[in-house]
């Protein structure tokens, strides 16, 4: 049961006004509900509610017919259609005179992607003559082409940390060997934090990657703690090209010391690991179990007559894409340096021709993504217009259209790693991903079972980091249009894993409190049939207006939402 906390907010010398008694019920027309709510809430919400009236069904529909048009080709990442959508958004921001928030005075935060494909004919492995197959027995574990052939040595976690008396290599010689590491290229030993390492002198520690290169190892075999997830992720890329952010790839090639990992490396299957350790004092299943537990066994050299040889050969091409960023600058001399971020992803899964994951239906080969996330994309445009045409909030409002959400939250990960504004100055993120569909009253299709009704929306994560933000979100809603907020996906161990499936996740990892708005998966999810005529524009208008008023309240509050909780460990992994 959630604990209810009454938040008293001081604004313009007055406490938060009383809640309306019955005026703003779900189902009222927006204009009537807005007038009733404005009268009940006095000066605090009234200006924002008045400005929210600039957000209209007609305006939202006009924009969505452009964003979800066939000419955008389904907005795959990367694609000419996605670029066209980005230009449409940027042109609108320029017309509204929002401050450019991208690179070099533009609205675009430019991102280079690299498409890497394994050359299956030249990627192979064998152990003392026994052949192993790429894709079933092993996969490359880094974006490095190369070959290695040598005896093997198991080095546990592979770290040296002098101030902690940690040395995984006592009694071991790795020169001209292939190192088997219980962990990933940069995973720290259990009980050691990155913050601790950063306070040490560079000469006080050594990662497995830098130790391997400095001491003449030939290659690496990784047995990561998240073994099952790493193996599944690797298998998904088998036999196909996949885009990754080039900057992330380059980071993966370096350890926490900035040492470039040019050694070839692989991730073996559990069966291949058993074969490697056959006849050794420790079995493969013991090595794997200890690695997953984060408590690797003491290192030892394997039988010198046993020799592993492998070759990983990769082919790469690059492409350009972008996040789109605009800023409504705040009016307060100090608070304008802080930002309320509002986000949506403007990409989708493309078309059959783009290879983005769109499956043709009834001859239609383009997935237009009207709800996913055309609805969020145009909601941001309407909110940006409402802010730009009305009073300037005290804090700045940061509008971010992320690319590559459908490809693994690439755009939000890029922005939070390389932000165009100081990340610590973002006081909250309101993320919108699908807010335009409603469950038909007479529809019994099981695929629409979890779709919300006309006056209902899922709210996810609003209290995960900040109780205050969650309570403020509830209070604003009750004082305005009184939508039905459904907290179903806030349950612990949500089987749909909504927490990890949209862009708010990467902001929460940075300690930024978030609220995620979502209408629910429906029968047209990721299909060509997710089209503009199926949008409930009344609902889209009401949800957008509600989020606008919430953003306005956070932007005008005397202080930023208090972060009173740490992100639980089980919510930090995708």
Q: Is the pLDDT of residue 111 over 60?
A: yes
Q: Is the pLDDT of residue 226 over 70?
A: yes
Give me the pLDDT at residue 41, please.
38
Q: Is the pLDDT of residue 471 over 80?
A: yes
Give me the pLDDT at residue 262, please.
80
Taking residues 332-360, report their average pLDDT. Answer: 95
Q: Is the pLDDT of residue 16 over 70?
A: no
Taking residues 290-316, report their average pLDDT. Answer: 94
Give me the pLDDT at residue 537, please.
98
Taking residues 562-574, report their average pLDDT. Answer: 90
Q: Is the pLDDT of residue 280 over 60?
A: yes
DSSP string covering 79-139: SHHHHHHHHHHHHHHHHHTPEE-SSTTSSEEEEEEEEEEE-GGG-EEEETTEEE-BTTTEE
CA distance 379 to 63: 9
* Lowest-confidence pick of 71-75, 195-199, 509-513, 553-557: 195-199
Q: Could you read off the pLDDT of 77-93 as tens digits, one per residue?
A: 999 999 999 999 999 99
Q: In 173-212, which positions are buried (b, 16+ CB within 10 angstroms) versus exposed (e)?
A: ebeebbbbbbbbbbbbbeeeeeeebeeeeeeebbbbbbbb
Q: Could you read off the pLDDT of 412-428 as tens digits, one per residue?
A: 999 999 999 999 999 99
Element housing 147 (H / E): strand 146-150
Give me the pLDDT at residue 258, please.
60
Taking residues 547-562, report their average pLDDT. Answer: 98
pLDDT-above-70 percentage for the chain: 90
CA distance 77 to 94: 23
Give me the pLDDT at residue 366, please.
98
pTM of the entire predicted model: 0.79
Taking residues 171-175, report their average pLDDT. Answer: 97
Q: β-strands 514-518, 456-460: how paired?
A: antiparallel
CA distance 542 to 563: 28
Give residue 184's pLDDT band: very low, low, confident or very high (50, 70, 90): confident
Query: In the structure encoding, which two tokens stand for residue 330, read together?
Result: 């705040």
Give me the pLDDT at residue 223, please.
96
Q: Are 408 and 569 in contact (CB under 8 A)?
A: no
More confidently predicted of 366 and 229: 366
Q: Which of 219, 139, 222 is nearest to 181 (CA)?
A: 222
Give residue 232's pLDDT band: very low, low, confident or very high (50, 70, 90): confident
Give me the pLDDT at residue 186, please.
72
Q: Is the pLDDT of residue 29 over 60?
A: no
Mean pLDDT of the chain: 89
- Listed in sequence order, the residues at least 6 apart from 46 whose beta carbon sits closer than 8 Å to its beta carbon are 38
Q: Are 546 and 49 in contact (CB under 8 A)?
A: no
Give residue 234's pLDDT band: very low, low, confident or very high (50, 70, 90): confident
Give residue 260's pLDDT band: very low, low, confident or very high (50, 70, 90): low
Residue where the block lists tokens 């309407």: 382
- Which one of 239-243, 257-261, 395-399, 567-571 scores highest in mean pLDDT? 395-399
Residue where the block lists tokens 């890029």: 414
Give residue 36's pLDDT band: very low, low, confident or very high (50, 70, 90): very low
Taking residues 339-360, report their average pLDDT. Answer: 94
CA distance 160 to 499: 36
Q: Is the pLDDT of residue 137 over 90?
A: yes
Q: Is the pLDDT of residue 24 over 80?
A: no
Q: In 512-539, which positions are buried (b, 16+ CB within 10 angstroms) versus exposed (e)?
A: bbbbbbbbbbbbbbbbbbbbbebbbbeb
Measured CA to CA in angstroms, residue 506 lies from 234, 337, 453, 465 at distances of 21, 22, 29, 13
Q: Could you read off the pLDDT of 50-66 as tens digits, one per residue?
A: 999 999 999 999 999 99
Taking residues 463-486, report their average pLDDT. Answer: 97
Q: Is the pLDDT of residue 144 over 90?
A: no
Give residue 153's pLDDT band: very low, low, confident or very high (50, 70, 90): very high
Torsion sign across C-alpha atoms 416, 422, 423, 426:
negative
Taking residues 117-128, report their average pLDDT. Answer: 92
Q: Which of 139, 171, 101, 137 is nearest to 239 (CA)?
A: 139
Give residue 518's pLDDT band: very low, low, confident or very high (50, 70, 90): very high
Q: Is the pLDDT of residue 115 over 80?
A: yes
- Which one of 27-36, 255-264, 475-484, 491-500 scores highest in mean pLDDT? 475-484
Q: Is the pLDDT of residue 44 over 80?
A: no
Q: Is the pLDDT of residue 8 over 70?
A: no
Taking residues 242-260, report their average pLDDT. Answer: 74
């Amino acid at each position: 049961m959630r604990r209810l906390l009454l938040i008293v907010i001081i604004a313009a010398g007055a406490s938060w006004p009383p809640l309306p008694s019955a005026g703003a019920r779900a189902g009222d027309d927006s204009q009537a509900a807005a007038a009733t709510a404005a009268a009940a809430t006095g000066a605090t919400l009234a200006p924002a509610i008045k400005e929210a009236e600039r957000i209209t069904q007609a305006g939202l529909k006009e924009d969505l017919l452009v964003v979800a048009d066939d000419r955008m080709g389904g907005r795959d990442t990367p694609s000419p259609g996605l670029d066209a959508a980005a230009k449409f958004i940027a042109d609108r921001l320029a017309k509204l005179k929002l401050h450019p928030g991208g690179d070099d005075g533009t609205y675009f935060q430019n991102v280079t992607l690299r498409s890497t494909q394994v050359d299956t004919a030249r990627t192979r492995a064998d152990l003392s003559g026994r052949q192993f197959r790429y894709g079933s027995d092993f996969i490359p574990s880094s974006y490095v082409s190369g070959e290695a052939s040598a005896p093997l040595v198991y080095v546990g976690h592979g770290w040296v940390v002098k101030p902690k008396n940690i040395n995984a290599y006592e009694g071991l010689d790795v020169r001209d060997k292939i190192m088997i590491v219980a962990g990933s290229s940069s995973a720290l030993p259990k009980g050691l934090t990155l913050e601790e390492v950063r306070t040490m002198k560079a000469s006080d520690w050594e990662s497995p990657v830098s130790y391997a290169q400095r001491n003449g190892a030939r290659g690496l075999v990784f047995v990561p703690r998240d073994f099952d997830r790493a193996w599944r992720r690797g298998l998904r890329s088998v036999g196909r090209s996949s885009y990754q952010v080039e900057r992330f790839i380059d980071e993966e090639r370096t350890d926490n010391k900035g040492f470039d990992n040019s050694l070839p490396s692989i991730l073996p299957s559990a069966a291949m690991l058993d074969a490697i350790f056959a006849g050794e004092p420790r079995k493969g299943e013991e090595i794997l179990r200890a690695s997953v537990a984060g408590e690797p066994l003491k290192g030892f050299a394997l039988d010198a007559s046993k020799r592993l040889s492998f070759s990983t050969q990769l082919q790469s091409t690059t492409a350009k894409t972008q996040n789109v960023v605009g800023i409504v600058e705040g009016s307060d001399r100090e608070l304008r340096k802080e930002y309320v971020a509002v986000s949506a992803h403007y990409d989708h899964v493309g078309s059959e021709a783009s290879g983005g994951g769109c499956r043709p239906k009834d001859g239609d080969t383009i997935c237009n993504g009207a709800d996913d996330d055309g609805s969020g994309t145009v909601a941001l445009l309407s909110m940006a217009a409402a802010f730009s045409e009305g009073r300037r909030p005290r804090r700045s409002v940061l509008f971010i259209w992320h690319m590559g959400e459908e490809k693994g939250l690439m755009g939000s990960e890029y922005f939070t790693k390389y932000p165009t504004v100081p990340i610590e100055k973002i006081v909250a993120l309101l993320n919108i991903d699908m807010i335009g569909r409603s469950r038909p009253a007479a529809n019994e299709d099981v695929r629409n079972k979890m779709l919300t009704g006309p006056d209902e929306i899922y709210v996810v994560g609003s209290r995960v980091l900040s109780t205050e933000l969650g309570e403020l979100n509830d209070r604003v809603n009750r004082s305005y249009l009184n939508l039905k907020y459904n907290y179903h996906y806030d349950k612990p161990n949500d089987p749909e894993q909504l927490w990890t499936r949209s862009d708010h996740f990467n902001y929460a990892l940075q300690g930024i409190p978030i609220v995620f708005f979502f209408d629910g998966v429906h029968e047209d999810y990721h299909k060509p049939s997710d089209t503009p005529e199926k949008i409930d524009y009344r609902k889209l208008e009401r949800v957008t207006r509600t989020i606008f008023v919430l953003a306005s309240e956070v932007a005008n509050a005397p202080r930023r939402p208090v972060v009173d909780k740490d992100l639980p460990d089980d919510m930090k992994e995708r």
